Structure formats: C-alpha cells, structure tokens
Amino acid sequence: MNVIMTEGYVISEEIKVLKTTDAIPLCRFTFSTPTHKLNCLITGKQAYAFLYEVEKGTRLSLTGRINNRNQFVVLNYDVLAKPSYFGQIFNYKGHRLPFAKSRQIE
C-alpha cells in the first residue's frame, strides 16, 4: 500500500455525506493540489470532525492512498489554514451575502 502526502485547498462548494448500507459515515469532497484535482473520501469517526471543521477554501495537509476507482482515501488530515472572510457581509443567520450589483440611478 503506497501512502501519499499532499497539501492543497478544498474546492467543493459543499462536503457531501453519502449513505452506506453498513451505517459508516462517508464524506466526499474535491481537493485541489498544485498539479491535480482529487476526488477524496473520508470515513469513520474522522468524517464527523472533518464535516464540522472544513469548508470551501480551507487549506489542508492530507495523508492517504489511491483506491481502484482513482479516489483519494484520506487516512489523516491536518487543517493548515481556514478561509478568511475579512470584509465580507453576512446576513442575520450567518450566511455570506454576495456582493450587490451596482446600479446606475438616472
């Protein structure tokens, strides 16, 4: 079994939780390294912590292996940096708002 270590950013809009028949949680996300885009899976108890800690734009260090479907199976992860939301506007429920399009008033 070849173990691979890589660093990069999460580029998925959302981390998807897939249902399995044996009730083991399985999370899927897309990860971008300087050379590749990887489809990643994380399972077990780590999936719950991962789902809570990580969002789009988070910089991670991953350790894992490639399975027979060319998916990167994460064995261990470290959060290197969270995305910065400095200067962005949020609504009352804590969701980010898109920047308003400027209108010309005549």
Q: Is residue 96 in some structural domain?
A: no
Residue 45's φ and ψ, nearest 5 degrees, are: -65, -25
Between the CA of residue 29 and those of 37, 55, 65, 71, 72, what are the distances in Å?
11, 10, 15, 10, 10
Task: State the total domains in the chain.
Answer: 1
pTM over 0.85: no
pLDDT digit of tens for each residue in the chain (106 aa)? 689 899 999 998 888 888 788 888 889 999 999 998 999 999 888 888 888 888 888 999 999 999 999 999 999 999 998 877 665 666 666 666 665 555 555 5
Q: Is residue 73 in some structural domain?
A: yes
CATH at 57 = 2.40.50.140
Q: Is residue 8 in some structural domain?
A: yes
Q: Is residue 19 in some structural domain?
A: yes
What residues make up the domain containing 11?
4-81
Q: Is residue 102 in some structural domain?
A: no
Q: Is residue 28 in some structural domain?
A: yes
Q: Is residue 97 in some structural domain?
A: no
Q: Is residue 86 in some structural domain?
A: no
Between the CA of residue 37 and those of 5, 34, 77, 95, 100, what are the distances in Å?
14, 8, 17, 27, 31
